[in-house]
Structure 1
Amino acid sequence: MKNFNYEIWIITLWLTCVLVSCERFVEIDTPIHKLDKETVFSNDETAISAINGIYNELVNSTFSGGWNSSVTVLAGMSADILQPIRTTHSIFGPFNENEISSSESPDASANLNLWSSAYNIIYMANSILEGIENSNRITEETKKTVEGQAHFIRAFTYFYLANLYGDVPLILTTDYRRNAIAKRIPIDLILDQVKTDLDISMNLLNEVEDYKNLERTNVNRFVVIAFYARVSLFLKEWSKAEELSTKVINQTGKYEILDDLNTVFLANSKEAIWQISPIGSNGGGTQTMEGSIFIIHPTLPFISSIKLKDDFVSNINSNDKRLTYWIGYHNRVESYYPHKYKDRNSINNITEYSMVLRLAEQYLIRAEARTKLNNLSGAIKDINVIRKRAGLLLISDTKSELSKSELMDYIMYERKYELFSEWGHRWLDLKRTERASQVLKSIKPLWQDTDLFYPIPEEERIKNPNLTQNDGY
């Protein structure tokens, strides 16, 4: 036990060093994390602790934690989903207006935090992959499991960086000298690396189908398959997207569409494919950060800052159960808010985990892929699964024949109202389907086509002269 405690202390020290050294990956002075790598990966327990450290960082990271500078919030502002309660809000206003500054402003700081925290996650994954590669003291089973999860988390993070910023540096090492001068590379090459990491992860986790301790917070084979289905959809690889989403949908003993909308976002719900636990968050609470930031305070609404856009709410079908169960209303500020998470503030009362991947998205992925493959009847069946749960008329009950274009409109509606306030789905959907200008120009007076990507943070460009800027900034 004494030995094990020492090694846990070492892993904690190592993770702290990694986070400090990659806070701004372009200004790392010394590779201090390398001092402990041999000790950190000296046995199975410490290697597992290292990958658990990344999971813990996901809940605390600006990028993934669900708080005010997360993908979920900022991308929701950039689309037609969220807006600030106060129009003068210094962080959210520019994202809502798609007029983000690259330097010296609160929104620029939010953008920098989003960027740098994503690279922190990547840096941690790289460090684990290097440690695993250089260790001969870990069993083969543990090596495969830890390495597979690290490859997935790196792929997951790069997917968002590419979709938010376009061309970005591809950092695959902990070598601070190389990282400090890394250039941006084309988005297509970034997404190629995402696919490579997912292929490796899927191969390494091929036999890992179960969740550890029944907690849906670790990456297993089906988490990788589900995310790969999304990536394939974005890359317009329709057959692969259909094939992969079908593999997940067919796991009926593991995943199901829950009829009760109030149970979907509970911890370890059967609709969840991958969740992030709030345990260990810097705030000390046991509620999700999404619950904290989205639910308008019941008695002190002036301390809340986010609401749903009025048009988003007014355009939802009045019979849609999602209007009743997933959208709240606060009388004092006359504002609607996302209410998928019900717990705003709690200590030692864990009821919900942050949802990252869930089964409903897989049906929508397959519906879109089938539409593109001219399997319209199959696509309608998939869409109807989501509409039935929402209490809406099935498409077959309202339309006898649909064109591909009309069916895509149904899919985009369902994606908008099913996946709102989750990981920026709507913002990414508008961009990948080339609908962003069409949809946003009419509601955002300052919209320009160059707003499709966020600016590269100026602070990073000052430190690394090889970083070019996106058009329009």
Structure 2
Amino acid sequence: MKKIKNIITVLSIALVFSCSKDILDKEPQSGFSAQGFYKTSSDAQAGVYGIYDAVQSTFSLNFSFWGEGRADAVNTNHSGDPLLLQQNTLNKTMNSARWNSLYETISRANYAIKYVPEVFEEGNEFGLQLVGQARALRALSYFYAVRIWGDVPLVLEPYESIDQELFIGKTAKEEVLEQIVADLKFAAQNCRESFGGERDRLLITRGGANGLLTQVYMWQKNYEAAIASAQSVLGNSLYSLVSINDWSKIFTTGFSNESIFEIGYDDTQTNNLRILYAIGSDSHYFPSEGFRASFEEGDLRQDLIYDVTEEEPRKIWKFFGQGFDDESADPSSQNIVMLRLADIMLLKAEAHNKLGQTAQALDLLNTIRSRAGLVEIDEAEAISTYSDVESAILHERSIELSFEGHRWFDLVRTQKAIEVMGPINGLSDEANLVWPLHEDALNRNPNLEQNGFY
């Protein structure tokens, strides 16, 4: 594991051409070209590994701020972004309103997408695999951008000349989503089926591209396409559900059979999982009262997720193991699991239900419930307990995928954000579902306009 992660770190240092700032913030430069870097296949591989390095930085903290901070499963005693997100008092100076790290990832991807093909003969399999990974990571970055800010600048070329347009305005989110789908289709066709070992979870494979496609199609409400891409994942022999006895290992040790794509960290390349969840009263987040009360009796996951022995639990130990009791604020070396099989199965269940295919939806839902030690339910029981099958699936996602960065996006995608969060923090306007643009982006780019609510 450390060897792979260290390769990503070391090779990314070679990317002297990569942006250290938001591509939209760069000053004009002359005589600047990546052509001097991309000469060999090793250079091409280093360029792509440099994108993964940027992904490490981008999601270290923000996967939780963006995906959990505005939702109902967490609460906080902290000021700053955690409190602003919880109270729905977002502003243009908050750190989580910055898109710099996403656009740095996009910038590195754009260089690789342009110059990697020049290293190889046309149609070279290794070259196509590298470009596929670059396009998937660009798609991942843009998918977060459109879900967070809505319309965003769509930049598909590296910035290399003063003749290029520096101040790029917003592109409609629908057009950005079309580009995301195109990138992921290319990746699903050209990425490797398998690298072998840990790399199957650390690098984008065809399964990873199809998993991301499933998430994007569900966001677009393209349910037939979501079912097809999800089936490609479910039919892939690389992935299988782990037993409940190994459920915690998905997060604590990583590289499980259930994992599709995870961001690799180690003692050098660390993340903020401990600060987010694990250091008791000093962590950013603890499980909300509503989340704790939402568990069905007998759910075997409950005491694997947080400390149930405390009347007011402060420790989310899902990512560190049951009984974790180290309140040091040191950075964490656990991987962050971005895609796993249970997520895709529940999205597929949701898509089937949307198409009126209730039996298929319940079959997938009950597979996840059974693993957690819960009884299977039929449509009548789903309605009596959760009001409808869709709500039963969404509830299952809230438990199974808790604190992994999905809940806020699930609420927005299913148009339940106002219904759920309104009573908690007064969310009432659909225009408020997106974040404000950070003031730095607005100050540096005269062609950007603040999102209307702000």
Q: Fold-level match, TM-score > 0.5?
A: yes
Contact 1:209/1:220 (CA < 8 Å) preserved in 2?
yes
CA distance in 1, matches of 2:182, 2:448: 24
The answer to whether residue 87 in structure 2 is matched with residue 100 in structure 1 is: no
CA distance change for structure 1 residues 398 and 204 in 2, over 3 Å: closer, same or farther?
same
Partner residue in 1 for 2:5: none
The 3-state SS of whatever aligns with 2:158 is: coil
Partner residue in 2 for 1:309: 288
Contact 1:430/1:436 (CA < 8 Å) preserved in 2?
yes
The answer to whether residue 318 in structure 2 is matched with residue 340 in structure 1 is: yes
Partner residue in 2 for 1:3: none
Please give the residue correspondences for 1:52-71 in structure 2 after superposition, counting only pairs within 5 Å: 52-61=49-58, 64-65=59-60, 67=61, 70-71=62-63
Which of 214, 238, 244 aligns to 1:259? It is: 244
TM-score, structure 2 as length reference? 0.88
Which of 252, 262, 271 aligns to 2:258? It is: 271
Instruction: Indicate the percent of aligned positions where both proteins have the same amino acid.
Output: 23
CA distance change for structure 1 residues 329 and 179 in 2, over 3 Å: closer, same or farther?
farther
Partner residue in 1 for 2:100: 116
Letter of the 1:101 partner, please give it.
N
The 3-state SS of whatever aligns with 2:75 is: strand
Letter of the 2:109 partner, please give it.
A
CA distance change for structure 1 residues 257 and 29 in 2, over 3 Å: closer, same or farther?
same
Taking only aligned residues, the RMSD between alpha carbons, in angstroms, comes to: 3.0
Letter of the 2:229 partner, please give it.
L
CA distance in 1, matches of 2:10, 2:402: 41
Contact 2:129/2:190 (CA < 8 Å) preserved in 1?
yes
Which of 183, 187, 190 aligns to 1:204? It is: 190
The answer to whether residue 75 in structure 2 is matched with residue 83 in structure 1 is: yes
Please give the residue correspondences for 1:264-413 in structure 2 after superposition, counting only pairs within 5 Å: 264-265=250-251, 266-279=253-266, 281-283=268-270, 289-297=272-280, 301=281, 303-328=282-307, 331=310, 334-342=312-320, 352-396=334-378, 399=381, 406-413=388-395
CA distance in 1, matches of 2:9, 2:221: 46
Which of 445, 462, 465 aligns to 2:443? It is: 462
Which has the higher mean CA deviation after the structures are superposed, 426-435 or 144-153?
426-435
Shift in Å, 1:184: 0.4
CA distance in 2, matches of 1:377, 1:12: 48
The one-character-per-residue Cα deviations of 1:133-192 (angstroms, maximum 9, x if unpaired) are: 333479812211110000000111101100110000001111265463101011101101
CA distance change for structure 1 residues 100 and 149 in 2, over 3 Å: closer, same or farther?
same
CA distance in 1, matches of 2:32, 2:157: 12
The one-character-per-residue Cα deviations of 1:439-467 (angstroms, maximum 9, x if unpaired) are: 11111136543320000112111111110
Contact 2:241/2:258 (CA < 8 Å) preserved in 1?
yes
Letter of the 2:172 partner, please give it.
P
CA distance in 1, matches of 2:70, 2:331: 34
Partner residue in 2 for 1:159: 143
CA distance in 2, matches of 1:432, 1:9: 35
Partner residue in 2 for 1:18: 18
CA distance in 2, matches of 1:251, 1:50: 28
Contact 1:238/1:372 (CA < 8 Å) preserved in 2?
yes
The 3-state SS of whatever aligns with 1:356 is: strand
Shift in Å, 1:400: 9.0
The one-character-per-residue Cα deviations of 1:3-49 (angstroms, maximum 9, x if unpaired) are: xxxxx9996555244132xx1322312458944x2343211122112
CA distance in 2, matches of 1:9, 1:316: 40
TM-score, structure 1 as length reference? 0.84
Shift in Å, 1:130: 1.5
The one-character-per-residue Cα deviations of 1:393-416 (angstroms, maximum 9, x if unpaired) are: 211397398899711111110111
Gaps of 5+ in 1: 1-7
The one-character-per-residue Cα deviations of 1:96-152 (angstroms, maximum 9, x if unpaired) are: 11111113xxxx23322xx11111110110011122133347981221111000000
Please give the residue correspondences for 1:140-219 in structure 2 after superposition, counting only pairs within 5 Å: 140-175=124-159, 178=164, 180-205=166-191, 208-215=192-199, 216-219=201-204
Shift in Å, 1:378: 1.0
Gaps of 5+ in 2: 1-7
Which of 214, 232, 236 aligns to 1:229? It is: 214
The 3-state SS of whatever aligns with 1:126 is: helix
Which of 218, 225, 231 aligns to 1:240? It is: 225
Partner residue in 1 for 2:110: 126
The 3-state SS of whatever aligns with 1:19 is: coil
